[in-house]
Amino acid sequence: MRQRHSDYMHWAKTQSRARFNLATSGVGSFPLAELPVQPALEINGDSTYGYAHLQGAIAAKCGVDPDCVVAAAGTSMANHLAMAALIDPGDEVLIEHPAYELLVSAALFLGADVKRFPRAEENGYALDTAEIRRVLTPRTKLIVVTNLHNPTSVLAPDAVLRDIGELARSVGAHVLVDESTWTRFTRIRRGRRTGWVRSSS
C-alpha cells in the first residue's frame, strides 16, 4: 500500500512548540512594498513552463541550459517532481540512512521499493560507495543522497559523488542530490553530467 503521510512533516509543521524552530525552512510572507526594490518590479509574466527570467537566472548561476531548470515551491516539491518523473511504482530506489524523512516518504508515496544504505557513525557519516554497491541491483532506478547530509551536515567530496554517478550509470539509474542546505550557505558548483538531478532552495 502507498504511504500517504509523513509523520515528520506533520510534527514539524504543526506540533513543534520550539521558540526557534529549525524544522521548517519557509520564509514568512512579507509585503513587497516594504522591501528596498523598484516599486515597478515585474514579478509576473508568461510562465507556461516557468517564469523565463527566473529559469534563465537559475540556469546561469548553475551553468546549465535553461531547459534543465524546473522551478518548484521549495526543495521538497522539487524532490517530489524529480522522483515522480524518474520512477514508476515498484521501481527500486536506494536512499541513505539516516535520511531526511520526507525523501523516504515521497518515494514510498510514489510506490517505490525503497532500500536503504548506511552512512555509519563510525565512518563519520560519510557516503560510502561500497555500501551503495552492496544494495545496488539491475532494478535500481534512483539513488538518493543529501549534500550537505541531513541530519549530520557532512559534506560529500566531489570524487565520491562522481563514483556514485558511475555506479548509477552502470545500471541505467539516476542520482538525486538534495542540496537544500548546501546551496543556502555556499557557492553553487557548476554543471553536472547527464543522469544527475539537483534539488535545492
User: Residues in the site for ligand PLP, rule: CB under 6 A?
Assistant: 25-26, 74-76, 100, 146, 150, 178, 180-181, 201
Nearer to ligand PLP, 27 or 159 (CB): 27
> Within 13 Å of residue 159, how many CA atoms lie on the same side as its CB?
1
Question: Least distance to ligand PLP from the beta carbon of 11, Å?
Answer: 13
Nearer to ligand PLP, 90 or 151 (CB): 151
Nearer to ligand PLP, 3 or 152 (CB): 152
> For residue 105, which of 18, 171, 17, 11 has the smallest C-alpha distance?
11
Nearer to ligand PLP, 76 or 129 (CB): 76
Please tell me the distance from the alpha carbon of residue 159 to that of residue 178, in angstroms, as a whole number.
Answer: 17
> For residue 168, which of 191, 199, 125, 135 has the smallest C-alpha distance?
135
Question: Least distance to ligand PLP from the beta carbon of 186, Å?
Answer: 14
Question: Least distance to ligand PLP from the beta carbon of 79, Å?
Answer: 7
Cell numbers 546551496: residue: 183
Grid cell in block for residue 136: 545496488
Question: Least distance to ligand PLP from the beta carbon of 136, Å?
Answer: 22
Nearer to ligand PLP, 100 or 117 (CB): 100
Please tell me the distance from the alpha carbon of residue 37 to that of residue 53, in angstroms, as a whole number.
Answer: 17
> For residue 144, which of 113, 118, 169, 175 has the smallest C-alpha distance?
175
Question: Least distance to ligand PLP from the beta carbon of 55, Å?
Answer: 18
Question: Least distance to ligand PLP from the beta carbon of 53, Å?
Answer: 21
Looking at beta carbons, which residue is closest to ligand PLP? 74
Nearer to ligand PLP, 24 or 47 (CB): 24
